[in-house]
Each structure stands twice: as C-alpha cells, then as structure tokens.
Amino acid sequence: MSFPPDGWPAHTRGAHTRAGNAMGRTRQGLLAGAFRAFAEQGLRRSTMQSVAVAAGVAKATLYNHFRTKGDVVQALLAAELDRLTERASGLPLEAALVTLADELGGHPVLRRLVESEPDVLTSMLSVGTEQWALLVDRLAAALGVDVDGAELAGRWLLGVVLQPGRSTTRRRAAASLAGAITGVPAQA
C-alpha cells in the first residue's frame, strides 16, 4: 500500500501554509493529511492542528471543511471504504479478497491503532446491526457474491485488521475462503 493511498495528493513542505493559499486545497488533500497524521500519531494524539500541518493548510481551512476531529475521522473512513470497494470491484473473488486483505493488513492507520490504540480500533470496528448489514451489502456488490458470502468475507477481513499475519498466510486464507464461498475448492 502506498502512503498515502494512490491518487491522494502528496504534501509539499512549505506549500499552502497560509489560509489564503490553502483555499484551493481539496477535501481529498485534507483527508490525505489526516491519513498521514493518524498514521504517524494515532487518533488520540492527532489534533486538528496536526492534521492541518500534515495537509499543508492553515487550521482555519481545515475547519472550513470539518467541524471536529470526529468529522475528519468519519470522512476518512468513508473515503477509505470507497477506495477499498473500488479496488476490489471487478476482480475475481480470490484476487479481490487478497487485495482487500493486503490493503487492510498493511494499512498504516490501522497498524498504528493496533499498536498504540487498540481500544479505539475496537470501538471503530464495533458497528450496529444496521450499519453492519449495509457494509455487508456493499461488500457483496464489490465481490460479486451473495450476502452470506459477503458476511463470511467481512468477518474474515475484520480478523485481518486485528491480526494481519503474514502476506503468504493471508493469500492462502483468501484462496480457501474464495473456495468456500463459491463451492470450488482452492488449488493446492
């Protein structure tokens, strides 16, 4: 996984440091800054100021787009969910599962949270029944599987977030999971 994710603008030190210059920065650039700040400092230690610095904008510019750090976190989660859904869509099931597992297993923000703020990560992963159903439906559409298959894949991916293991192990597990979902055994 690239840091920040592919397609997100990179911060250039010294650029856009005044509010007047920063007005042209996009929401995507602000989220890229949040991604960097959260990956480096975690969620608790990151502030709106550290997010603004990482994005290369004045804090006032960040506040023009987001009222609170919680709003930034929610927007970043939504953007990451969109990005991951797009990455998996259209791939064969096994390749999509490997892609998602590798992205989640190596995600800098998630790794930071596992290391330094596991309680924050656990609370973020604990979603209500309705929200989980929406995530499962979205995963089903991205993977091209039924809801039961997406439910199984979603639960496995949650495990990858919490304990990514080695890439080779994730790849074998993805192949086995794809076989279980499709009814076609994985090749040895």
User: Predicted confidence band at 125 (pLDDT cuts at 50, 70, 90)?
Assistant: confident
Residues 40 and 118 in one domain: no
Q: How many domains does the chain have?
A: 2
User: Predicted confidence band at 16 (pLDDT cuts at 50, 70, 90)?
Assistant: very low
- pLDDT > 70 fraction of the chain, expressed in percent and rounded: 85
Pairwise CA distance, residues 104 & 111, whole Å: 9
Structural domain harbouring 140 = 89-182
The angle that helices 167-182 and 147-162 make with each other, rounded to 10 degrees, is 170
Residues 54 and 115 in one domain: no
Q: Average the pLDDT over 156-175 and give the result.
A: 94
Residues 62 and 95 in one domain: no
Pairwise CA distance, residues 61 & 111, whole Å: 28
Pairwise CA distance, residues 18 & 46, whole Å: 20
Whether the pLDDT of residue 117 is over 60: the answer is yes
pTM for this entry: 0.81
User: Could you tell me which residues come within 8 angstroms of residue 70 by beta carbon, excluding any fewer than 6 positions away?
Assistant: none
The angle that helices 27-45 and 69-88 make with each other, rounded to 10 degrees, is 110
Confirm if 56 and 26 have CB atoms less than 8 A apart.
no
Residues 60 and 100 in one domain: no
DSSP letter string over 20-62?
HHHTT--HHHHHHHHHHHHHHHHHHH--HHHHHHHHTS-HHHH
User: Predicted confidence band at 3 (pLDDT cuts at 50, 70, 90)?
Assistant: very low
Q: Average the pLDDT over 40-57 and give the result.
A: 95
Whether the pLDDT of residue 18 is over 70: the answer is no
Residues 95 and 172 in one domain: yes
| φ/ψ of residue 17, rounded to 5 | -95, -10
Q: Average the pLDDT over 32-57 and give the result.
A: 95
Q: Which two three-digit tokens encode residue 174?
A: 């993805």
Mean predicted lDDT score pLDDT of the chain: 86
59-100 tens-digit pLDDT? 998 999 999 999 999 999 999 999 999 999 999 999 999 999
Residue 184: its pLDDT value, please? 76
Pairwise CA distance, residues 150 & 137, whole Å: 7
CATH of the domain at 35: 1.10.10.60
